[in-house]
Amino acid sequence: GSESPVDSLSLVGLSEEKLRFDHTNNYVLKKKLQVWCRLPDDEWGLGEIQSISGNNANILLPEGRALAVLVENLLPSNPQVLDGVDDLIQLSYLNEPSVLHNLKCRYVHDMVYTRAGPVLVAINPFKEMLLYGDDHVAAYREKTTDNPHVYAIADSAFNGTMRDGVNQSIIISGESGAGKTETAKIAMQYLAALGGGSGIEYEVLQTNPILEAFGNAKTLRNDNSSRFGKLIDIHFSTSARICGARIQTSYVIHEQSRVVQRAKGERSYHVFYQLCAGAPASLRDSIQFTEKLNLKAANNYEYLKQSDCLRIDNVDDALRFHKLTEALDIVRVSKEDQESVFAMLAAVLWLGNIEYLVIDNENHVEVISSKACCTIDFKCCTAVTNVAKLMGCKVPDLMLTLSTHKIQAGNDVVIQKLTLPQAISTRDALAKSIYSSLFDWLVEQINRSLEKNSFEQFCINYANERLQQHFNRHLFKLEQEEYIQDGIDWTKVEFVDNTECLNLFEKVLYETNGFLEKNGDPLHSDSIQLLLSCNCQLPQLFAAHLLNQSQKPVSPLRRLGSVESQKQSVATKFKGQLFNLMQRLESTTPHFIRCIKPNGKQLPGIYENDLVLQQLRCCGVLEVVRISRSGYPSRMTHQQFAARYGFLLLEDVQFQDPLSVSVAILQQFNILPEMYQVGYTKLFFRTGQIAALEDIRNHT
């Protein structure tokens, strides 16, 4: 019959698994063995081998269903004792279904953090967790727990800075909505708790609501998506107090186009909606219009209402506005400056309401100046007069800038009318420019307030996968340190060649083209002139800044050419920024956190295998684990080992010390010497050895 009790076969040579198994990882298929079985729908299911015949196996699935499959569709599953291990390197069999299963086991029990060797894998819970706060901070500080946690990472970074005097960085990566920003905040809370006392730690934390208001927006993937890259340095004094901080944002990534346009169902930057919903009466009222912003509700603004999404579930924009102004107070942005900031935001909103009238059959336009600014209030004004008032420029100048451009022809200046698309893009470019200048200016103000005498630098959040190389170097150093500490001869630990991994990580380069396209349209020199003519401080500052950025004023005659050259300079600047960041991070000891998004719905309790797998693959988690476990990844203290396997010994060892018991076990079961090492406190095993011992244990 098909029953063949002794039929067995080694999986080592099988094509796909070759990658993931090393020579120590022999695996024998036999009856009753639990395996992962690729089901017809391409999912992996856990089953038990009923029988094997040649390349075919009969598998019993949990629901009692039997399935005939080719053995190449089977992968080893780990013994149950390893279910939900807190470090993936402890898995005896490393394969995708096992890793997915392990992370899921933990996730359903609200254990969202798992180690993958030196990397922390963080799965977004999409709900509030009772994992944070003072008690938990204390537990990690006092090392009364060693569960994987962001706090543990922050703690070792803090120690590295304070104890060893080496700058550290925490690099948090993951796709949109995976939890990078939240994770960075959690790490910052821990560091603020540890380095608190000077008062500045509170300021550092308050930069978050400000940066999120101005730099985050609701997208289809994340209700609070960061649209800019940021690096926050936290500086510690020698007495372990936070003594300064600095934020660096990469303005190139800052997505300006969102201010004027985006996909349906997405929002512009939070701050616009917060301002409209939460501005106090003193700002919004039009009784004394000359001093006010003349703010209306968000649905009166074209720039806001065009994407059919004004609100976010469970978010109170008015309350957020209140928090924003509190945070601005704390980082010492004066009330006067705050009002200027809000005036610029209002100017951007009103710009979007400026409309054009086509005046000839060549599609040339003029600005409409007679139409009331909004549906609510006919008596007051038009969009154009609002913008001019808010920016402090003359109405005719504004109208001219938005509908014409000056061309230098020899000694003469020719004024040419813009076509409708040209006029709209001129208007939008001005709006985008004002917004991004405002963002940069604000970050500068915050930095002024935060940047005191900086000591050591401490980098916290930087999402660039290229740093992986840097990381690999450290990975091996860390491994070696633990071996040395426990008296292991680490030269016996052969590490697999990791070039394959490095190549993999080099795949993940920054996609710069998209960013440049989005931010590519430079501001027309006429618009810069307009900003210069304003009698408000901010527009003037912006103009100076913009002139500085493009180095030379753009000649209208060679406008097309200069667009290209400006794009070029943006690209060069971006590379420069990246290089600087890299250089600064290169001089630090990095800590890595990989955030994983468990589902696309932003909901708790849903774990989509495919989505998780795709992210694990993309950031090379399996490879990291593979590198980490290529030494002796399974570790047990002598006590643990003796307690778990001691009863298997034939002789009575009741009164012997754990080390002797352990050695006796190793000898009795003929564990090959190259498969383990005995340290002062722990036993170190090659992969698969614990599974082998468990097998013996279960069958005794």
Contact positions toward ligand ATP, by CB under 6 A? Answer: 124-126, 128-129, 174, 176-182, 222-226, 595
Please state the closest distance from residue 132 (CB atom) to ligand ATP, in A: 8
Decide whether 91 or 612 has the Cβ nearer to ligand ATP: 612
**Contact at 8 Å (CB) between 626 and 82?**
no
274, HSE (Cβ side, Cα atoms, 13 Å): 22
Question: Which partner from the list Mg ion, ligand ATP, none does 124 bind, CB cut-off 5 to 8 Å by kind?
Answer: ligand ATP
Answer with the entry of ligand ATP, Mg ion, none that 125 interacts with (C-beta below 5 to 8 A by kind): ligand ATP
CA dihedral 153, 156, 157, 163 (to 10 degrees): 170
CB of 177 to Mg ion, least distance (A): 8
Piece in contact with Mg ion (CB under 5 A), picked from 223-231, 272-280, 353-361, 628-636: 223-231
Q: Which is nearer to ligand ATP, 129 or 671 (CB)?
A: 129
* Residue with tokens 């512009």, as numbered in its chain: 268
Choose between 124 and 226: whose C-beta lies nearer to Mg ion. 226
Size of the site for Mg ion (CB under 5 A): 3
Q: Quick one: 41 or 313, whose CB is closer to ligand ATP?
A: 313
Choices 219-227, 269-277, 406-414, 545-553 (CB under 5 A): range interacting with Mg ion:
219-227
Closer residue to ligand ATP (CB): 116 or 346: 116
Beta carbon nearer to Mg ion, 181 or 472: 181
User: Is residue 219 close enough to count as binding Mg ion by CB under 5 A?
Assistant: no
Please identify, using beta-carbon distances, which residue of 127 and 492 lies nearer to ligand ATP: 127
Work out how close the CB of 129 gets to ligand ATP at its nearest, in angstroms, rounded to a whole number. Answer: 5
In this structure, are residues 116 and 96 in contact, taking their beta carbons and an 8 Å threshold?
Answer: no
Reduced 3-state DSSP string for 245-267? EEEEEECCCCCHHHHCCCCCCCC
User: In terms of C-beta density within 10 A (0-12 exposed, 13-18 middle, 19 or more buried), how is residue 165 classed?
Assistant: exposed
- Considering only CA atoms, give the Rg of the chain: 31
- Collect all residues with Cβ–Cβ distance below 8 Å to 610 and sequence separation of at least 6: none
> Restricting to residues 651-680, which ones interact with Mg ion according to CB under 5 A?
none
CB 380 within 8 A of CB 289: yes
Tell me, what amino acid is at 700? T
Stretch that binds Mg ion, among 94-102, 175-183, 532-540, 630-638 (CB under 5 A): 175-183
Question: Is residue 590 within 8 Å of residue 608, measured between CB atoms?
Answer: no
Q: Which is nearer to Mg ion, 226 or 589 (CB)?
A: 226
**Nearer CB in complex with ligand ATP: 124/300:** 124
Tell me if residue 488 falls in helix, strand or coil. Answer: coil
Least distance to Mg ion, CB of residue 211, Å: 10
| Residue 518 CB, nearest approach to ligand ATP (Å) | 15
Nearest to 276 by CA among 308, 314, 324: 324
- The SS3 call for residue 685 is strand
Smallest distance from ligand ATP to CB 584, Å? 21
Q: Can you tell me the distance from the alpha carbon of 574 to that of 583, in angstroms, rounded to the nearest whole number?
A: 14
Q: Select 29 or 129, whichever has its Cβ closest to ligand ATP.
A: 129
Task: Please identify, using beta-carbon distances, which residue of 25 and 181 lies nearer to ligand ATP.
Answer: 181
**Residue 642 C-beta: closest distance to ligand ATP, Å:** 38
Question: Whose Cβ is closer to Mg ion: residue 184's or residue 531's?
Answer: 184
Contact 131, 111 (CB under 8 A): no
Out of 181, 401, 445, 589, point to the residue binding Mg ion (CB under 5 A). 181
Report the nearest approach of Mg ion to the CB of residue 180 (Å): 5
For 120, 478, 485, 491, the CA distances from 481, given in Å and listed in that order, are 19, 5, 6, 12
Residue 568 site contact among Mg ion, ligand ATP, none (CB < 5 to 8 Å, cut-off depends on kind)? none
Structure-token match 């930087």, residue found:
462
Mask 572-611, x = binds Mg ion (CB under 5 A)? ----------------------------------------
Residue 26 binding partner per list Mg ion, ligand ATP, none, with a CB distance cut-off of 5 to 8 Å that depends on partner kind: none
Per the DSSP assignment, residues forming a β-bridge with 364 are 419
Chosen from Mg ion, ligand ATP, none, partner binding at 674 (C-beta under 5 to 8 Å by type): none
Q: What angle do CA 130, 131, 134 make, to 5 degrees?
A: 100
**Smallest separation (angstroms) from ligand ATP to the CB of 174:** 5
Cβ at position 257, least distance to ligand ATP in Å: 16
Q: Which does 433 bind (CB under 5 to 8 A by kind): Mg ion, ligand ATP, none?
A: none
Cα dihedral sign, 100-633-498-231: positive
Among Mg ion, ligand ATP, none, the one that 682 touches (CB under a kind-dependent 5 to 8 A) is: none
Q: What are phi and psi of 435, to 5 degrees?
A: -65, -45
The HSE-up count of residue 576 (CA atoms within 13 Å, CB side) is 8
Residues 6 or more apart whose CB falls under 8 angstroms from that of 62 comprise: 45, 46, 47
CA distance 653 to 34: 33
Per-residue contact string for residues 243-282; x = within reach of Mg ion by CB under 5 A: ----------------------------------------
Cβ 589 to Mg ion, closest distance in Å?
A: 24
182 binds, among Mg ion, ligand ATP, none (CB under 5 to 8 A by kind): ligand ATP
What is the closest distance, in whole angstroms, from the C-beta atom of residue 252 to ligand ATP in the complex? Answer: 16
Q: What's the min distance (Å) between Cβ of 222 and Mg ion?
A: 7
CB of 219 to Mg ion, least distance (A): 10
Query: Contact 180/463 with Cβ under 8 angstroms?
Result: yes
| Distance of alpha carbon 536 from alpha carbon 19, whole angstroms | 64
Q: Which is nearer to Mg ion, 181 or 634 (CB)?
A: 181
First to last CA, the chain: 29
Nearer Cβ to Mg ion (120/665): 120
Q: Min. distance of Cβ 186 from Mg ion in angstroms?
A: 13
Contact partner, 639, from Mg ion, ligand ATP, none, Cβ < 5-8 Å per class:
none
Q: 90 or 189, CB closer to ligand ATP? A: 189
Q: Which is nearer to Mg ion, 208 or 550 (CB)?
A: 208
The CA angle 228-234-235, to the nearest 5 degrees, is: 150
Per-residue binder mask for Mg ion (CB under 5 A), 27-56, x = binder: ------------------------------
Distance (Å, rounded) from C-alpha 619 to C-alpha 622? 9
CA-based angle 413:416:418, to the nearest 5?
A: 150
- Cα angle 504, 510, 515 (rounded to 5 degrees) comes to 155
Local structure of 506: helix, strand or coil:
helix
* CA geometry: angle 314, 318, 319, nearest 5 deg: 70
Q: What is the DSSP string of 175-228?
A: STTSSHHHHHHHHHHHHHHHSTTSSHHHHHHHHHHHHHHHHEE--SS-TTEE-S
CA gap 563, 520 in Å, rounded:
8
CB of 253 to ligand ATP, least distance (A): 11
Q: Which of 124, 189, 226, 382 binds Mg ion (CB under 5 A)?
A: 226
Structure tokens at 577: 């920024």
Run of H or E residues at 629? none
Q: Which residues sit at the interface with Mg ion, rule CB under 5 A?
A: 180-181, 226
